[in-house]
Amino acid sequence: MGSFVPGTTAEQESMLREAGYKNWDDLFSGIPKDVYLADKPLDIPEGKSELEVTAEMKEIADRNVRFRYILRGAGAYDHYIPSIVGRVVRKESFLTAYTPYQAEISQGILQSIFEYQSEIAALTGMDVSNASAYDGASAAAEGVMMCLDRKRTKILVSDSIAPETMEVVKTYCFGRNVSCIVVTSKDGVTDLDALKEMAGDDTACLLIQSPNYFGIIEPAAEAAELVHGAGAKLVMSVNPISLGLLKTPAEYGADVTVGEGQPLGMPLAWGGPYLGFMAATKEMMRKLPGRIVGETTDSEGRRAYVLTLQAREQHIRREKAGSNICSNEALCALTASVYLAAMGPEGLRQAALQSTSKAHYLQKVLEEKGLKLVYDRPFFDEFLTSSGSRESRDKLLSALEKIGILGGLPCGEDEILWCVTEKVPKEVLDMVGTEVQ
């Protein structure tokens, strides 16, 4: 990196003298001598040229296995991304923009966030959206924290949500000294009888995920009725692609909607960066963490954008902040809004329709080969099958890898959680069936 630091040796010496130092040793004179490395040479190899480094990195990258087709989801999904999405978000003006600390000057960034909020609100059916969170798991945890008050301090969480989300929610609850109670599932969905018994006067909310971790569509309307009857809120985590076909969380009666926005134009990218979206009813708006961008007019009547709500610790008294969310994944939020604009309602519907149609087709192919559904319930684009034994499951997944297909996620003793998106052709799904022994 030394060659990339601006300033020649003579210029550096001039700056040292200007700052009142004779040399580098004089500059670092305040550091104890026993931590100096001058007499302790480091075992670091010689530097390499850019060409040599590029060649070595390419050699390392070539060791990676790149699958032609992916039949695994479990929170990260391989959807088609229109080329216009990357074309827009890679513009320098977006890539280099960080966060609108001087909000009124950052009109372009504010508008992009406003458009994102508008699209998320329309997609979920909720009244208002914030300017995003770090990922779906942290959005879920922030969502349940919104529902706490002095009298209601107990959080109910369905055990059919993603395990990573469960861990993050539990961590948030531990840090806030909040009681987190897990509601057991029955036949792959939240047990409503157990929920009815557990929801009480001290319950702040219930967190469910639909489609849940196993791809099954939850009885969200019934769950909403039960928790609302107890005076609590419903926090609903959703797959945004599924909203191209299914009812919106608002139609189910959700008070807060959260989810992982990665399917909205973001590649798998080794797990990040991803995007957590959050939306809520008007009544819950002032408890949304982070920022909300609003539209207004300036002194000359022209359209302008402002930070309408800033309920975060950098803008208000820390003890009154609803969250410690600071920077948000603004570039990811922009990506999601460009993706939604490019796809449009019909494009999103087609992505959802093809994903669920192909998932159901694969399920039938596997069923004919002896892989039975673990839960015989309506599902979206993911489903869980039983392979009969761990050996047969591992053999099938290994056989698929050899022909360039990443099979489903191994679960439990002999189960596989499959996922199909619009990118997988029907012929490939038929190939999967031929590999089942």
Q: Domain-by-domain residue ranges, the chain?
A: 2-61, 69-79+349-435, 83-340
The amino acid occupying position 398 is S
Of 235 and 313, more confident: 235
CATH fold for domain 83-340: Aspartate Aminotransferase; domain 2 (3.40.640)
Secondary structure (3-state) at 205 = strand
**Least confident stretch, 84-88, 170-174, 239-243, 433-437:** 433-437
Sequence-distant (≥ 6) Cβ neighbours of residue 195 within 8 angstroms: 156, 183, 206, 223, 226, 227
Q: For residue 261, which of 328, 211, 336, 339 has the smallest C-alpha distance?
A: 336
What is the Cα–Cα distance from 66 to 60, expressed in whole angstroms?
A: 13
Residue 17 corresponds to which tokens in the numbers above? 């003298």
CA distances to 75, 395, 427, 429, 431 from 434, in Å: 27, 13, 11, 9, 5
| Residue 2 banded pLDDT, cuts 50, 70, 90 | very low
Peptide linkage before 273 cis (omega within 30 of 0): yes
Q: Three-state SS for 145?
A: helix
The yes-or-no verdict on residue 400 having pLDDT over 80 is yes
Q: How far is CA 308 from CA 128, 132, 182, 288, 373, in A?
A: 12, 15, 36, 12, 48
List Cβ neighbours of 332 (8 Å cut-off, separation of 6 or more): 132, 261, 266, 273, 274, 275
C-alpha torsion sign, points 373, 159, 121, 292: negative
Its sign, for the CA torsion 280, 281, 285, 287, is negative
What confidence score (pLDDT) does residue 5 get?
Answer: 61
What pLDDT, in 10s, does the model give residues 239-263? 999 999 999 999 999 999 999 999 9
DSSP one-letter string for 330-352:
HHHHHHHHHHHHHHHHHHHHHHH
pLDDT-derived band at 170 (thresholds 50, 70, 90) equals very high
Which token pair is 315?
């803008």
pLDDT for residue 107 is more than 80: yes
106 compared with 362, residue with greater pLDDT = 362
At 101, the pLDDT band (50, 70, 90 cuts) reads low
Please compute the mean of the pLDDT values over residues 113-140 and round it to a whole number: 94
The pLDDT confidence band at residue 1, using thresholds 50, 70 and 90, is: very low
pLDDT of residue 40: 67
CA 335 – CA 330 distance, rounded (Å): 9
In CATH, the number for domain 69-79+349-435 is 3.90.1150.10
**77/421 Cα distance (integer angstroms):** 8
Spatial CA neighbour of 77 closest among 433, 426, 327, 422: 422
Q: What percent of the chain has pLDDT over 90?
A: 73
Q: What is the value of pTM for the model shown?
A: 0.86
Higher pLDDT, 322 or 377: 377
Peptide bond before residue 211 is cis, with ω within 30 degrees of 0: yes
Would the pLDDT of 39 be above 70?
no
**Pairwise pLDDT comparison (423 vs 100), residue with the higher score:** 423
Burial 337-350 (b: 16+ CB within 10 A, else e): bbbbbbbeeebbeb
Neighbours of 83 (CB within 10 A): 8
> Looking at residues 218-222, what average pLDDT do you find?
97
For residue range 337-361, what is the model confidence (pLDDT) as tens digits? 999 999 999 999 999 999 999 999 9
